């Protein structure tokens, strides 16, 4: 039964292919009408999908760049033994100094005792976290090393919960305003940590 139906359809298809009469005007108009309805809908769906994909990709890139900056700042602060913070002179919230004012000296191990902590030596060393402009984009810099990203951090700020400076313990807050040249909106993110 199925075999006969398939053979019948194949014979009709062969007959249609070998027919030299061409396409009628009604068939042509029907095909154009259906195409005129389906093509804009398909095209619109594809373009909308691409725009959403691009927006989500840029949003993810902005978040990754902000996470990268936060991670690098934390890495640098963990490796730098600071004991206070201070706002940079003349800054408008886009710079903070991390101050290492003293260092403990430790005597070498000897057979009779353990390590001994001696007096503190005054260092007055500091490093800074600062928002700088590079190629027209705002980029974060830690002690002169620029944390390069593809995003623009213009309008971002760093602040602390200290009321007086130099501060010995506080919560440091990084407020990011991250933007991308192909994205018409900015993403606002915050990161805070204590010391």
| CA–CA separation, 158 and 193 (whole Å) | 11
In a domain, 31, yes or no: no
Q: What is the per-residue pLDDT for 185?
A: 81
In a domain, 15, yes or no: no
Q: What is the per-residue pLDDT for 71?
A: 87
Q: What is the per-residue pLDDT for 49?
A: 93
pTM above 0.85, yes or no: no
Q: What is the per-residue pLDDT for 151?
A: 87
In a domain, 186, yes or no: yes
In a domain, 78, yes or no: yes
Structural domain harbouring 169? 54-194
In a domain, 35, yes or no: no
> Per the structure, how many domains does the chain have?
1
Q: Which of 134, 101, 102, 132 lies closest to 119, judged by CA? A: 102
Q: What is the per-residue pLDDT for 104?
A: 58
In a domain, 19, yes or no: no
pLDDT per 10-residue tile (average), the chain, 195 residues: 82 74 80 91 92 89 88 83 77 78 61 56 73 87 86 86 75 87 83 80
In a domain, 6, yes or no: no
């Amino acid at each position: 039964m199925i075999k006969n139906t398939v053979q019948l359809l194949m014979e009709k298809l062969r007959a249609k292919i070998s027919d030299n009469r061409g396409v009628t005007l009604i068939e042509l108009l029907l095909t154009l009408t259906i195409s005129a309805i389906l093509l804009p809908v398909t095209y619109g769906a594809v373009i909308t999908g691409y725009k959403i994909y691009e927006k989500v990709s840029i949003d993810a890139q902005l978040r990754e760049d902000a996470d990268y900056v936060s991670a690098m700042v934390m890495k640098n602060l963990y490796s730098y033994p600071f004991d206070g913070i201070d706002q940079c002179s003349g800054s408008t919230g886009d710079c903070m100094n991390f101050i290492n004012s003293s260092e403990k000296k430790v005597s070498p191990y000897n057979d009779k005792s353990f390590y001994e902590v001696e007096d503190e030596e005054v260092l007055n060393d500091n490093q800074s976290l600062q928002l700088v402009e590079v190629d027209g984009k705002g980029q974060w810099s830690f002690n002169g090393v620029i944390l390069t990203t593809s995003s623009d951090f213009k309008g971002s700020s760093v602040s602390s919960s200290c009321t007086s400076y130099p501060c010995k313990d506080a919560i440091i807050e990084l407020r990011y305003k991250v933007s991308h040249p192909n994205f018409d909106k900015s993403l606002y993110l915050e990161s805070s940590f204590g010391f």
